[in-house]
Amino acid sequence: MKLQYLKTLSKITVNPYGKIILLLVFSRIIAFIYLFNLDYVEPYDRLKPDEWWLIFHRWDSAFYDRIASLGYVDLRHWAFLPAFPAIIRIISAFTNHSGVATALAGLICGITWIPIYYKIAAIYTDNEYATYSTLIFAFFPTVYLFTSVGYSEGLWLTNTLLGWYLFLKERYFISSIVLAFSILTRIPGFILPAVILLYTLFYRRNLRGLFYLIPFSAMLLWLLYGYTQTGKVAAPIAAQTKTVWNPHLNFLEVFIFKIIRQDASSWNEYSSFTILLVAVFLYLYIRAFDVDKILGVYSFSLLALYLITGYFLSLPRFLPFTFPIWIKTGKAIRNKYSLSIYISINYILAILLWSQFLNDRWCG
């Protein structure tokens, strides 16, 4: 009986993305142990055992937590879309603690995108390169950080990737429903359904592309609800511009226009880093066209949105979350040794970034 049991176990195989998930979970446990034992976490000093969730709860997490608990009671809250707070509210029904629920929502959604991305990458490459690509994507420092804490990035990635995967499988209606959740998670979620809509209607001449009006209908309903509550026509944008976001602090105005005017008086070390970062990611965004022309258009549309409207200090957070740019990177890593070095270096950087994040340093 025991021998038969061992033979059965030996036949069990773990999917490559299953191994990636196990590695990520293990790495986050190690990161948590290290961060929880920091001598000082602002403003709490050393964390107590029942405060473990604060490792995953900082900056925007507090807004999501408050929205899930109290609703949209302040204009600033309207800068955040409702999908992620809804997930927190569902989880808090089981935990009876909104802070814990926010942490768990970030952790869970920070894992759910992995198998979907792997399957998409495998469609465009093969299983080995898909594994490499997934690891390169997941362990990029800002991706690792913002898919670990109570932020909406993990949920947005999950919805966006699932919407595209279902589109590839020609399940257009379900794909459009999923992308409706994407557009209600983060404002840039409108770009993928827009690109698919235009492609299916004008290139494929397929009327099923009309399904991709559903995400825009969902956003329109949200905007109408926001208008009834705030009196603002576009409450999410009004909330950002009037409370938490200066629309003039974008890459175009802060850097490009100043270069044209030969004005570098306000530049510092971070300015040079930002320009270098954009240059590196510009190359990756161009490579997205090698993956799929539609994904190339999607990627460049996102890039334009980030550079024209996004806060330039947030570019290290925004730019890496465009999934097509990572699909071909698996071929740049020639062997497992190089991949191990990449993961090790980026994991250390991610933990250092996370420790700064906990002490209220701006990380994106």
Tell me the C-alpha distance between 298 and 182, whole Å: 14
- Through-space distance between the first and last CA atoms of the chain, rounded to whole angstroms: 56
Q: Residues 344, 27: contact at Cβ < 8 Å?
A: no
Which has the closest alpha carbon to 83: 152, 149, 33?
152
Beta bridge mates, 41: 45
Please give the biggest Cα pair distance in the chain: 80
Look at the alpha carbons of 204, 206, 208, 210 in this order and tell me if their dihedral is positive or negative.
positive
Residue 4 pLDDT class (50, 70, 90 cuts): low
Tell me the pTM.
Answer: 0.94
Kindly state the DSSP code that residue 316 receives in the 8-state scheme.
H
**How many domains does the chain divide into?**
1
Structural domain includes residue 120? yes
Residue 271 pLDDT class (50, 70, 90 cuts): confident
User: Between the CA of residue 228 and those of 62, 90, 117, 231, 282, what are the distances in Å?
Assistant: 25, 25, 38, 6, 40
Structural domain includes residue 246? no
Q: Residues 100, 53: contact at Cβ < 8 Å?
A: yes
Structural domain includes residue 131? yes
In this prediction, residues 33-51 reach a mean pLDDT of: 90
pLDDT one-digit tens code per residue, 289-347: 999 999 999 999 999 999 998 888 889 999 999 999 999 998 888 788 999 999 999 99
* Percentage, residues of the chain above pLDDT 70: 91
Kindly state the DSSP code that residue 335 receives in the 8-state scheme.
S
Give the domain extent around 81: 18-236+331-358
Structural domain includes residue 81? yes
Structural domain includes residue 161? yes
Tell me the C-alpha distance between 286 and 278, whole Å: 12
Structural domain includes residue 43? yes
pLDDT one-digit tens code per residue, 141-177: 999 999 999 999 999 999 999 999 999 999 999 999 9
Angle at 342 between CA 339 and CA 347, to 5 degrees: 125
Structural domain includes residue 193? yes
Structural domain includes residue 177? yes
Q: Residues 109, 151: contact at Cβ < 8 Å?
A: no
In this prediction, residues 122-131 reach a mean pLDDT of: 93
